[in-house]
Amino acid sequence: MDAIFLWDICDKIIQHIFPFVRILAFFSSAPVFYEKGVNKKIKIALAFIITFLISPTLVETSIDVFSCMGVLIIGSQFLIGISMGLTAQFIFVTIKHAGEVIGLQMGLSFATFYDPVGGQNLSVISRILNLLVTMLFLTYNGHLFMIGIIANSFQMLPIMERLPDISGYIAIIRLAGNVFKCGLMVGMPVIAVLLCLNISLGFLNRLIPQLSVFVIGFPVSLTTGIISLSLVMLSLPLFFEKLMSSIFDDMVNILTFFSSKN
């Protein structure tokens, strides 16, 4: 009797390995969850708990996990989870790109720091903006929205005996192009102000040759950039909220593309 009970438990676990792989892959690449500060055991535990909670809504499959088709489905679920996580990453990549552009115009491109949480080098402006939008992301419950999307993804994109449609990956590539556009939109006010300042310093250098622009240029550009950035940051929460909502809508659309027939 105990052997039959244990066999049933093992059978249930094996049947839910496909959604578990998708959810675990998502947590491995999604913002906030992918960071080194989040222990791997926590990611596995979260993936297991969510899989257990949504298991009543999942359609049971009779596919053998250890067969060739089972391995193919595991690979496809891994790609879907990674794709969803990377798509959500565009929220933060946009702001980091804006920080890099602003720092370059302010002359702070050389001031880079190693981010132990993200495991990468960031300019000081990108670091500040990244910390700010991380707090905004958690304040707006972005992490809960992401979990809701990946949990509901099995209704839109159930476990299939085929690879996801390539149109979903094309949509992700197109969305990546918008990252640069949105990043420039955030930094454009600061870029415009610093451009006008540099032009003014150029005219001033022509009018007063004795004035060393290289001596006063950097502190003036730095001060002007900080003031402009502080004004831009006042409207950053509203922009970030719209950006987050747009990316989440794009994640749902990408799931629709994945589920379309080849």
- Tens-place pLDDT, residues 94-136: 888 888 888 888 777 666 766 666 667 777 888 888 888 889 9
d(CA 107, CA 21): 44
> What is the number of domains present in the chain?
1
pLDDT tens-digit map of 227-254: 888 888 888 888 888 888 988 998 888 8
CB 109 within 8 A of CB 223: no
Q: Residue 166: pLDDT band by 50, 70, 90 thresholds?
A: confident
pLDDT value at position 1?
46
For residue 9, pLDDT beyond 60 = no
What range does the domain containing 144 cover? Answer: 2-259
DSSP classification of residue 115: E
The predicted model gives 25-52 an average pLDDT of 86
C-alpha distances (whole Å) from 159 to each of 72, 77, 220 are 11, 8, 58
d(CA 28, CA 210): 58
C-alpha distances (whole Å) from 64 to each of 61, 69, 70 are 9, 8, 6
The number of residues making up the chain comes to 262
For residue 5, pLDDT beyond 60 = no
HSE at residue 231, side-chain half, CA atoms within 13 A, is 11
pTM assigned to the model: 0.82
Alpha helix stretches (DSSP H) within 31-165? 40-54, 68-106, 124-139, 142-156
pLDDT tens-digit map of 43-86: 888 888 888 888 777 777 767 667 777 788 888 889 889 999 98
* Mean pLDDT computed over every residue of the chain: 81
d(CA 99, CA 130): 8
